[in-house]
Chain A
Amino acid sequence: ETPAEAQVLSEHEGILVIVEQRLGQARSVSWQLLGQGRRLADKLGTKLMALVLGYRVEPVAREAIAYGADVAYLWDDPVLERYRTRPYSEAAVHVIRAEKPEIVLVGATYTGRDLAGAVATRLETGLTADCTLLDVEPPPTRLLQASRPAFSEKLMATILCKKRRPQMASARPGVFEALPPDPNRSGRVVRVGSTLREEDVAARVLDFIQDPDRVNLEDATVIVAGGRGVGGPQGFQLLRQLAQVLGGEVGASRPAVEAGWIDRAHQVGQTGQTVRPKLYIACGISGAVQHLVGMEGSQVIVAVNREPDAPIFRVADYRIVGDLHQVVPALIAEARRRLGP
């Protein structure tokens, strides 16, 4: 460690979470990261900061306090109304340079990854991608231990950034747990901002076309998921009915997506979404590791499969061996009977 490096290390303190929002609606991964950030900040005995970028997003900054931040930096500017890499990364770099956090966390969403790569490069610092475990070494080293799955989830690797600050990491949605929001938590909202000018931004968002098959697996409390065993699009209609009665969403394995039975947005697993609902019902899914990594954090797992030794049963709380075309209708009928149509 050179004296210059030592100075950089000692100047930086605290954990900053970049909150992602669109049109004033925060993404749940931001609150999950504030939850994990809180745990890490307490372990280091330091403060937890949130950075909220957008236009007319003061309520989001207040929410960030409720979800665990001690300070929420609010950069409210019409130029930031819609996400564009240049003004967002400029603003984030500006605040990080001024506030000097030792750790910066970003959700590994499309937007979060787009932003994190730009910001880390401008700050010339290390960025660990797509983490599923985040811990810190206790003082004096205070190192962020950012761990991520590698090689098709066959290996986990811990990545460290020893000599530069901040240590940056993007983290997967659905992996960490948010704290229950407390509207009475005390914390400061600090307005920041300076010279963003629309003339300096070349990018224009012309349109946003919402996907009609849009699905919010990340926030779903119940997911009914189907695999190759579902047999076709009609089978997924059945799963949709069950999901509907239970107030949940439909998930899928990759082969079901690749067969075109259901849209890619529903895919759970390594190359799909990571989910942690209260209830996950896996129907006709064998339980390959690439699927399991996406759903094993679910609170209760029910598996329906006609092979008694299907690997999915090893992670299931409730096993139903049988043909899903018999079991799922029975579940729908039973759910209707108990919960109403």
Chain B
Amino acid sequence: MLKYTIKRLLGTIPMLILISIVVFSLAKLMPGDSLSGEIDPLNTNPEYIEEMREKLGYNEPLPVQYFNWITGFVQGDFGKSTKYKTDVFDIIMEKVPNTLLLGVISLIITYILAFAMGMYSGRRPYTIGDNAIAGINYIMLAIPSFVAAVVAIYFFSFHLNWFPFGGSVDILIEKGSFEYYISKLHHVLLPALVLGAMGTASYTQFLRNDIIDNSRKDFVRTARAKGTPIRKIYNVHILRNSIIPLVTFLGFDFAALIGGAIITETIFTYPGIGMLFLDSVTSRDYPTLMALTMLLSFLTLAGNLIADLLYGVVDPRIRLD
């Protein structure tokens, strides 16, 4: 297992190098640069622009520019955000806790909903209950997040006044106090609900289909022949087998935990990684944008690795070495 992990981690290095080249090239291909995002190019002295370009290293050959960026990057120097004028690293670290909270809560919501609905549907396929669940799921899947989020805000925040409209915490609350954490939780619930409900459909239907599939297997007949109650057969024998393919989803979810949800976060003005990402695009904050893209790529690779390692844990037939 350890050997396998190390092997896989080493395998990600060439992948990351390739990704970094793509990210860098894409940033360079986009019109404009950080400087033109900061100043008004039409109303600025061309000599000043030229001077700044030279100073910022924009006139160097591209490979040199790439090399400068990547050597800093691997040492943890993600550059300075042109918008916030501070280290990109600090900005990202500031947003990560919010996004992590949102991700974890929404994932918990997804899991609770999906397991409840999937296990119900899988045990009673083609019944009214199963069809109703499938209907609800597909509606949740089909509604775009920007519609769901706006409707949720309108209904729960504006009309019922149950949840705040946006932000991640009430202002004027002392940081670290009990009220502070309650307020954080209060703010995260609505976006987490929207996010969690949207992710439920794939989990539910996948679990349902796998349970139906497994309920026809020979080992179920054996368990019945042993006098095992049908409830235990579903909740232990079948479920334990049906969890295995769900691990694949978990890999994707891991990246989403920190990667954030761009649309949902932006609509709820929830200061997380997703909102920062969109923000950095619109303000041409390339150092931030590139750092975030690299981070997401790394998380995706890490998520896949975690999923593969988890396969070895949940399925005794898979031995990693």
Say if A and B assemble together: no
Query: Chain A interface (Cβ within 8 Å of chain B)?
Result: none
